Structure 1
Amino acid sequence: MSPNESSSEASAVIDRRHNWLHRFAWFTSLATLLLICSGGMVTSKGVGLAVPDWPTTFGYNMFLFPVSKWVGGIFFEHTHRLIASTVGLLTIILAIWIWRSDRRRWIRNLGFAALGAVILQGVLGGLRVTMLKAELGIFHALLAQAFLGMLIVIVLATSRLWFRISEIDSIPRATRTLFRVVICTISIVISRSSISRWRMARSYRTHRRRSSRKSMPGVTRGRYRT
């Protein structure tokens, strides 16, 4: 076998490995998109506290919670937690896979950054339930979008198109341009989302204060009746 043939076979094996890595990154990204949609459903229906404890579910192991009890808001919140756990497992596999099969340092670092982000995301989701702070919910939602952005970059960087472009001499300029576009897009999305969610949180706190004042007997406009 000639050196050229052995080299071509080795490159073919590497291509197949990256193809599977690319597909798995796609699958993880789609699962994350489903997770974000599930979280939006939980928020829109106002059932984020339908399950009052974490990481357990009404005292049960989260993965052993009886299906017969998945009713009402519990169904949406518990399903969201299960999808989140699945995304966490997929991200662990993805980070290890990237570390073992990709020599590029930046993509390795991005894989572990995504892993750290999904761990922090889970902790924020749990603290949102146990501490009852709306601000944690805002960070929880924003980090979800940033995490999805990381996965999309991994999807792009493991694609055949990326490796084809990398053979062009102008790849440093193309890479810098891509990252600038990605960072600017993510920053704009997160900024708009953070402003809207901050307004929602402030409106929610104002509504709660007004409701508590109305429920207090003998109090009108902050003064006691005589």
Structure 2
Amino acid sequence: MTVACYARVSTADQQLDRQIESITDYAQNRLDASLQDVDIYRDKSTGTDTDRSGYQALMDAADAGDIDAVIVHQVSRIARSVSDLESTAERLRGSGVELHIISEGLQMTPDSQDPYQKALFQMLGVFSELEAEIKRQNVREGIAARRQSDEYRHGRAPLGFDKENGELIQQPQYHQICEVLDQVVRDELSQRQAAKQINSSRRTVRRAINERPELYGL
């Protein structure tokens, strides 16, 4: 069996090691695949659409019949919208390729007719898209709430923001910072590692998580 492992992070500064380790362990222990039969596809970009070089190479390999199964660590790594997730699943199914999503414990096989499995898969896509939208809404509400505080008017701009004419403006690295802080909350990174990745201090990271989580969708 030839297995494709797909891993994605949102920015070039983030590391894929943990995802790849989790996926290759799954391939060896659950699918009885040797490392020689595991191909790794990776992207360092957002998952808001499928215009990603690693993703496109993965799907081309599936279309060509070069792989038998695709493994991802979690559903949001391969798609962030219901439509993208469904089109990915249908394309893999049409090519006779299995799809395994580790964290959700889901396996989609090309010949499966299980309506419950299909419904669960669709629900995962809905929740992934909903999670992304909730985070965006929380950030909007967090900024609106900060406008009422003295700190907003007179204090320094929070991590990942600049101040322009009294308004908070997201810096170019804002989305990277959100991803890194989220990894800290999920115990995937230490505060020291996070501070190093975003060129900040542990104190600033700790304050962002504990005092200003609404600004980062946490």
> Radius of gyration: which is bigger?
1
Structure with the larger helix share: 1
Under a length normalisation based on structure 1, what TM-score does the superposition of the two structures give? 0.28
Structure with the larger strand share: 2
